[in-house]
Structure 1
Amino acid sequence: MDATAIGQVRRFQRTVTQRIGALSDRFLARNRPLGQARLLWEIGAHGSEIRALRARLELDSGYVSRLLRSLEADGLVVVDDGGSDGRVRTARLTAAGVAEREELDRRSDEVAASILEPLSVTQRDRLVAAMSEVERLLLASMVSIDVLDPRHPSARHCVQAYVGELARRFDGGFDPARSISADDHELRLPAGMLLVAALHAEPVGCVALKLHPESAAAEIKRMWVDPSVRGLGLGRRLLAEAEGRAVANGARTLRLETNKALTEAIALYRAAGYREVEAFNDEPYAHHWFEKRHGPAGP
């Protein structure tokens, strides 16, 4: 990794934490540090499951428990017992907690305004645009990609969302039973795998691989990115991850087919070095077939 880039990231972190007041144990001039204030805000007006809070903020359970105990002691939060099994515990704001959250919102607006006020209109526009870009890139860096069993709930969610989107976008809909299969047993090694992307512990994308060691070729299937994270480069990253996994398992050629309605996917494949070829299967929903070679073909 480039040392200059790492140094710039660290300088940015120091500047931001100081400018927003994160270093003080009295964030926004309230009698609590940033961690407590952020947790109060995340709980929200309707409450939140504690495990969801941990996932969204990427905090360990012990630290979240300590923050919640502090907020409970101040009379701002109540935590239920999770019912009979005690596993699904929920934090809710008290009336005092709602009032405190509203006050934090007001003061946060004031801090944001104080950042913008000294700048010219042009500088404000530049800063806001830069912040938006930084936020998107930081979100992109927070996405994880892992191989999951096709029966995992996150994997099921992605595949169902994929099927639903194709059904909406294809002329005449989409019936996976008519399409070339990518069944559970085909998406487990050594036959294949399913890669799932997650952000804040929520599934936001997937891509499947069907490996064919006898032909040194692999098929890319079930490529999907949640609309909420499109524009973060996740499609390109999923594709590259699938290619790397395929090559690591002996594939030298990557193949995929797609429908004419998926114009953004077609553009992605071409930009990633895939070339359009003659049809290599009888997929009824395909209009375009693509191929990409990695290294020399096998004998």
Structure 2
Amino acid sequence: MTPTMPIVVSATSPTSAEAKDVSLRYYEDIVGRYHGRPASCEETLDAQAGYPSDDLVAPLGLLLLARQGATVLGCAGMRVRPGDIGEVTRVFVEPAARGKGVGRLLMKELERKSRELGLDALRLDTRTDLVEARSLYASLGYVEGAPHNTDPYANHWFRKELA
């Protein structure tokens, strides 16, 4: 019996091949879930073009990947916003890795890195159909509140104080 390799979470460039690949899978997943069917290539690329990630780099943000060996299991990003707030984005776990704590590991590391940057709070938005995401955020202490943006695909807005 071979021992299971640990899951490692680390920062990466949003322009790396791994980041581009997982970003594409993220958009395939959320677009497909939104429509209730597999997303077309055009729909996926259109969605991705509407939400660029080139600013997910220090000092304005960061992008984390969770890996097990050479396999990317998921990602999470954060943008620094005025008022020492971080805005969480691009939280995604590959379907085969769901239910194994990968999302929790990503979010905990995002919180740790955000504290290192001196941020006071994290906020995020999500959709009603992303039930697992809403459950994860609530379990981590994120509190649902008033909208902080006008994203037409957002239905729920969460915030967590980091102090």
Task: Report the TM-score, using the length of structure 1 for normalisation.
Answer: 0.49
- How far residue 247 of structure 1 moved from its aligned partner, in angstroms, is 1.2
Give ranges in structure 1 of 5+ residues lacking alignment: 1-19, 21-56, 58-134
Task: Tell whether 2:110 aligns with 1:246.
Answer: no
Instruction: Tell me the residue number matched to 1:236.
Output: 104
Larger radius of gyration: 1
Query: C-alpha deviations, 1:21-40, integer Å up to 9, x for none?
Result: xxxxxxxxxxxxxxxxxxxx
In 2, the alpha carbon distance for the partners of 1:277 and 1:190 equals 27
- Indicate conservation of the 8 Å contact 1:154/1:202, yes or no: no
The alignment partner of 1:187 has SS state of: coil
The alignment partner of 2:149 has SS state of: coil
The alignment partner of 1:196 has SS state of: strand
Aligned match for 2:141, one of 266, 273, 276: 273
Task: Tell whether 2:88 aligns with 1:224.
Answer: no
Instruction: Tell me the residue number matched to 2:53.
Output: 183
Query: C-alpha deviations, 1:113-132, integer Å up to 9, x for none?
Result: xxxxxxxxxxxxxxxxxxxx
- How far residue 200 of structure 1 moved from its aligned partner, in angstroms, is 2.0
- Indicate conservation of the 8 Å contact 2:10/2:65, yes or no: yes
Task: Tell whether 2:136 aligns with 1:282.
Answer: no
Number of equivalences: 155
More strand by share: 2
- Indicate conservation of the 8 Å contact 2:85/2:119, yes or no: yes
Instruction: Tell me the residue number matched to 1:201.
Output: 70
In 2, the alpha carbon distance for the partners of 1:157 and 1:261 equals 23
- Indicate conservation of the 8 Å contact 1:157/1:203, yes or no: no
Within 5 Å, give how 1:1-299 maps onto structure 2: 138-139=4-5, 142-171=6-35, 175-178=47-50, 181-184=51-54, 186-212=55-81, 214-295=82-163
In 2, the alpha carbon distance for the partners of 1:208 and 1:166 equals 16
Q: What letter matches 1:228 in structure 2? A: A
In 1, the alpha carbon distance for the partners of 2:67 and 2:119 equals 26
- Indicate conservation of the 8 Å contact 1:182/1:210, yes or no: no
- How far residue 294 of structure 1 moved from its aligned partner, in angstroms, is 1.4
- Indicate conservation of the 8 Å contact 2:24/2:48, yes or no: no
In 2, the alpha carbon distance for the partners of 1:244 and 1:200 equals 22
The alignment partner of 1:283 has SS state of: coil
- Indicate conservation of the 8 Å contact 2:73/2:102, yes or no: no
In 2, the alpha carbon distance for the partners of 1:177 and 1:157 equals 14
In 2, the alpha carbon distance for the partners of 1:183 and 1:281 equals 17
Larger RCO (CA within 8 A; separation ≥ 6): 2
Give ranges in structure 2 of 5+ residues lacking alignment: none
Q: What letter matches 1:273 in structure 2? A: G
The alignment partner of 1:146 has SS state of: strand
- How far residue 167 of structure 1 moved from its aligned partner, in angstroms, is 1.0
Q: What letter matches 2:149 in structure 1? A: N
